[in-house]
Amino acid sequence: MRRFMSLWVALMSIAWASVAQTKSISGKVVDGNNVPIEGASIQVKGSTRGTIADGQGLFTISAASADILVITSTNFAPKEVKVGNQTNIIVSLVLQSSTIDEVVVTALGVSRQKKSLGYSVQNVTADKLTEGGNPNLATALQGKVAGMEVRPSSGMPGASAQIFIRGARFFDGNNSPLYVVDGLPVSSQPDFEVGGNGVTGSDYSGRSIDINPNDIESISVLKGQAASALYGTRASNGVIMITTKSGKRLKKGAPVVNFSTNWQFDNISRKPELQQLYAQGSGGGGNFSPTASTSWGPLISELPNDVNYGGNVPNSFNNNNPTAETQGKYWNPKKGAWVVPQAYDNIGDFFKTGLVAANNLSISQASDLGSYYVGFGSTNQTGIMPASKMNRYNVKFSGDFNVSSKVKVGASVNYSTVAIYKMPSGNNSLLFEIYGAPVSYDLKGTPISEANNPYKQIQYRGGTFDNPYWGAQYNRFIENTRRVLGNTYISYSPIQPVTIKWQVGVDQYTTDREELFEYGSGPAPTGDLTNGALTNRTFNSQFTASFNKQVSQDWHINALVGNEVNDNYLRNIVGSGTGFILPGFDNIGNATTQLTSESKFKTRTVGFYGQAGADWRNMVFLTVTGRNDYISTMPRGSRSFFYPSASLAWAFTELEPLKNKGFYGKLRASIAQVGSPGTYKEKYYTRHTSGSGFLSSTNITFPFNGVIGFRPNSTLYATDLKPQNTNSLEVGVELSFFKNRVSVDYSYTTQKTKDQIFSIPLAGSTGFAQIVRNAGEMQSNAHEVTLRVVPVKTNYFQWDVSANFTKVLSKVNSLATGVDNIYLGGFTDPQVRAAIGYSYPSIFGTTYLRNDKGQIRVDASGMPLTGSDGVIGTVTPDFNLDINNGLRYKFMQLNILLAWKKGGQMYSGANRLINLYGTSKLTENRATDKILVQGVKESTVVDGKGGDVNDIVISGAPALYTYYNSKVANISEANIYGTSFVKFREIALSFDLPRSLLQKTGFIKSAAFSVSARNILLWTELPNFDPESSQGNGNMQGGFDYMSLPQARSIGLGLNLTF
* DSSP class per residue in 172-186: SS--PPEEEETTEEE
pLDDT band at 21 (very low <50, low <70, confident <90, very high): low
Is pLDDT of 912 > 60?
Answer: yes
SS (HEC) of 773-831: EECCEEEEEEEEEEEEEEEEECCCEEEEEEEEEEEEEEEEEECCCCCCEEEEEECCCCE
Candidates 542, 549, 540; CA nearest to 493 is 549
- In the prediction, which pLDDT does 104 show? 76
Whole-angstrom distance, CA of residue 663 vs CA of residue 737: 4
Whole-angstrom distance, CA of residue 771 vs CA of residue 756: 13
Out of 193-197, 760-764, 946-950, least confident range: 193-197
Give the tens place of pLDDT for each residue, 660-715. Answer: 888 899 999 999 999 889 899 988 888 776 655 444 444 556 666 667 778 888 99
Give the tens place of pLDDT for each residue, 991-1010. Answer: 988 877 888 888 888 899 99
The identity of residue 866, as a single letter, is T
What does the DSSP assignment read for 698-755?
S--EESBTTB--EEE-SEEE-TT---EEEEEEEEEEEEEETTTTEEEEEEEEEEEEES
Is pLDDT of 15 > 70?
Answer: no
Query: Which range has the top average pLDDT, 117-126, 219-228, 863-872?
Result: 863-872
Provide φ and ψ at 201, rounded to 5°: 90, -160
Candidates 566, 652, 630, 626; CA nearest to 602 is 566
* Mean pLDDT of the region 313-327: 94
- In the prediction, which pLDDT does 691 show? 57
Give the tens place of pLDDT for each residue, 37-89. Answer: 877 888 887 666 778 787 677 888 888 888 888 888 766 777 888 888 888 88
- In the prediction, which pLDDT does 699 show? 53
Provide φ and ψ at 960, rounded to 5°: -65, -35
Q: Mean pLDDT for the chain?
A: 90
Report the alpha-carbon angle 558-560-565, nearest 5: 165
What does the DSSP assignment read for 522-562?
SS-TT-EEEEEEEEEEEEEEEEEEEEEEE-SSSEEEEEEEE
b/e sequence 496-517, b meaning 16+ C-beta within 10 Å: bbebebbbbbbbbbebebebbb
Whole-angstrom distance, CA of residue 605 vs CA of residue 647: 26
Task: Return residue ranges of the chain for CATH 2.40.170.20.
Answer: 181-269+352-681+700-841+876-904+979-1058
Task: Return residue ranges of the chain for CATH 2.60.40.1120.
Answer: 22-96
Candidates 252, 253, 269, 210; CA nearest to 56 is 252
Give the tens place of pLDDT for each residue, 475-520. Answer: 999 999 999 999 999 999 998 889 999 999 999 999 999 999 999 9
Is pLDDT of 1048 > 80?
Answer: yes
pLDDT band at 100 (very low <50, low <70, confident <90, very high): low
Number of Cβ atoms within 10 Å of the Cβ of 14 = 10
For residue 187, how many C-alpha atoms fall within 13 Å in the half-sphere facing its CB?
28
Provide φ and ψ at 295, rounded to 5°: -115, 45
pLDDT band at 3 (very low <50, low <70, confident <90, very high): very low
H or E stretch at 995? helix 995-999
pLDDT band at 876 (very low <50, low <70, confident <90, very high): very high
Provide φ and ψ at 719, rounded to 5°: -75, -15
Give the tens place of pLDDT for each residue, 358-370. Answer: 999 999 999 989 9
Report the alpha-carbon angle 724-907-142, nearest 5: 65
The better pLDDT of the pair 939, 251 is held by 939
Is pLDDT of 10 > 80?
Answer: no
Q: Measured in Å, how far apart are the chain's first and last C-alpha atoms?
A: 79
According to DSSP, residue 193 is labeled: P
* Mean pLDDT of the region 539-557: 92
- In the prediction, which pLDDT does 696 show? 44
The better pLDDT of the pair 114, 523 is held by 523
* Mean pLDDT of the region 763-780: 91
pLDDT band at 452 (very low <50, low <70, confident <90, very high): very high
Provide the residue count of the chain: 1059
- In the prediction, which pLDDT does 659 show? 84
Is pLDDT of 890 > 90?
Answer: no
Cα-Cα-Cα-Cα torsion 268, 272, 276, 278, nearest 10 degrees, comes to -130
* Mean pLDDT of the region 101-122: 81
Whole-angstrom distance, CA of residue 686 vs CA of residue 828: 26
According to DSSP, residue 918 is labeled: T
Whole-angstrom distance, CA of residue 172 vs CA of residue 175: 9
Topology of the domain covering 22-96: Immunoglobulin-like (2.60.40)
- Each as own residue / partner, the long-range contacts of residues 311-314 (CB below 8 Å, 24 or more positions apart, any chain) are 311/338
Whole-angstrom distance, CA of residue 115 vs CA of residue 101: 6
Whole-angstrom distance, CA of residue 43 vs CA of residue 27: 13
- Is 818 within 8 Å of 777 (Cβ atoms)? no
Is pLDDT of 105 > 90?
Answer: no
Provide φ and ψ at 802, rounded to 5°: -130, 150
Beta bridge partners of 532: 513, 574
3-class state of residue 303 by DSSP: helix
Whole-angstrom distance, CA of residue 954 vs CA of residue 932: 6
- In the prediction, which pLDDT does 110 show? 78
What would you report as the CA-atom Rg of the chain, rounded to the nearest whole angstrom?
Answer: 33
Is pLDDT of 806 > 90?
Answer: yes
3-class state of residue 93 by DSSP: coil
Topology of the domain covering 181-269+352-681+700-841+876-904+979-1058: Maltoporin; Chain A (2.40.170)
* Mean pLDDT of the region 848-860: 96
Percent of the chain with pLDDT over 90: 73
* Mean pLDDT of the region 536-553: 93
pLDDT band at 193 (very low <50, low <70, confident <90, very high): confident
Is pLDDT of 92 > 90?
Answer: no
3-class state of residue 910 by DSSP: helix
